[in-house]
Amino acid sequence: MKLVYTCQPLPNEITKSIFLAGPSLRPDQVGLVSWREKAIEILTVLGYDGVVFIPESESGNFEDLDFNAVNEWETKCLNIADNIFFYINRNIESALYGLTTNDE
């Protein structure tokens, strides 16, 4: 499995791919773990050997990213992904509301 995080270069060759769409942690949510980590664990157990587009900073720090570059990267990856997996959290107590995800 090849993991590609926000604004990282895309592989030269992609035979199959998944985009993990859904809410991302905000800078003030220190100590919480992204749901995408569990998704990657599941894909690993299932033996998935394609590319996984992860719209999060690999370092967990979004402050260093340019909004326009992120938007361009996400649009490109969404358009080439074979599958788009959405996680829509309905547990309000988790503070991972997914308000943008609801619109998407």
And the tokens for 69?
């570059």
According to the model, what pLDDT value does residue 103 have? 46
pLDDT in tens, the chain (104 residues): 999 999 999 999 999 999 999 887 776 666 677 889 999 999 999 999 999 999 998 876 666 778 899 999 999 999 999 999 988 765 556 555 555 544 45
According to the model, what pLDDT value does residue 102 have? 46
**DSSP readout, 74-90?**
HHHHHHH-SEEEE----
